[in-house]
Amino acid sequence: MKTKPGKTIDEQIEILKSRRLVVENDTDVAETLSTLNYYVLSGYLHGFKDQYGNYEDGLTFERIHSLYKFDSALRNILLYAMERIEQLLKTRVAYMIALAYPDDPCIYESASLFKNGDEHARFMKGFHTTVRHYAEVPFVKHHINKYDGHFPIWVAVELFTMGNLRHLYLNLPNTLRRRISSSFNIPPDVMDSWLENLRITRNSLAHNMRLYGTTIQLTPKLPRQYYKKEIIRNRIFDQIRLMMVLYPERENWIRIINDIGALLDDYKDVIELGKIGFPKNWIDYLEQRG
């Protein structure tokens, strides 16, 4: 299939103008497009198109660029929160496995522990690929040289992606799955949902995927006290509420809320809260930690 040919920056600007986007300064826009992919910015334009492919009256390039900058700043805040949550999950899962099998720190290597041997084989293949990738990292190199590449679970878990962690949890014996999920006061099926939603969200954040005006493919299961009918589902706000439930430090979570609030205030003239699923009283929902 033949794809569209590439366009020069000047041609990109002319395309935007032809669709009625207001370009106030060609030089400034050209400078932006020389460092920021046209395709990335065009994603923020989709919600402003009419049936003929033209943009709404008065829409400016500066507003679209501001939406991109808002998204970038929001991703940075959420990535910081996600890092703490990911560490919590890794720590809890590794601790529970180690506690259940105190005489075998590498029990996760054994297919006999797991419900599905094929899934375990895929999990271990992915883990060994990661080990090879990080072979020169000091702690990885140490375990390769001294322990023939065997890592106790509390070390191995630091090499797990969120996807690895989810697949490991799904394949654990039911008794151990319940023990881990109970430590978060939820049943295993909710834990499954949380891990999958966090995996998707983390990947979106890490790969600079657009948040504004985008729907998320999954909606997390939340405990009854956190569910409210008026919240717009399948937007990033749903994922932030899940992060709220899991975030380990109350005081630091308040700082994250404040950072989000300051960001929304900075961009209040260019964003619509509904496009990210935020209700007007969003702060009330993000303070409900139990």
pLDDT of residue 119: 94
Q: Which helix (H) or strand (E) holds 154?
A: helix 153-156
Distance CA 78, CA 85 (A): 10
Angle (CA) 157-158-161 rounded to 5° is 80
CA 228 vs CA 5, 33, 89, 198, 224: distances in Å: 47, 41, 26, 20, 9
Mean pLDDT is lowest, of 54-63, 108-117, 225-234, for 225-234
* Closest by Cα among 208, 190, 221, 185 to 78: 208
Between the CA atoms of 249, 92, 86 and 284, what dihedral angle is there, to the nearest 10 degrees?
-40
pLDDT of residue 225: 62
Q: Indicate the domain borders of the chain.
A: 10-59, 68-285
pLDDT of residue 220: 86
pLDDT of residue 52: 83
Asked whether 211 and 43 are in contact (CB, 8 A), the reply is no
Q: How many CB atoms lie within 10 A of CB 153?
A: 22
Tens-place pLDDT, residues 3-38: 778 889 999 999 999 999 999 999 999 999 999 999
What's phi and psi for 268, nearest 5 deg? -60, -25
High-pLDDT (> 90) share of the chain, %: 81
Distance CA 25, CA 40 (A): 20
Asked whether 174 and 188 are in contact (CB, 8 A), the reply is yes
Asked whether 162 and 126 are in contact (CB, 8 A), the reply is no
Tens-place pLDDT, residues 227-279: 555 565 789 998 999 999 899 888 899 999 999 999 999 999 999 999 999 99
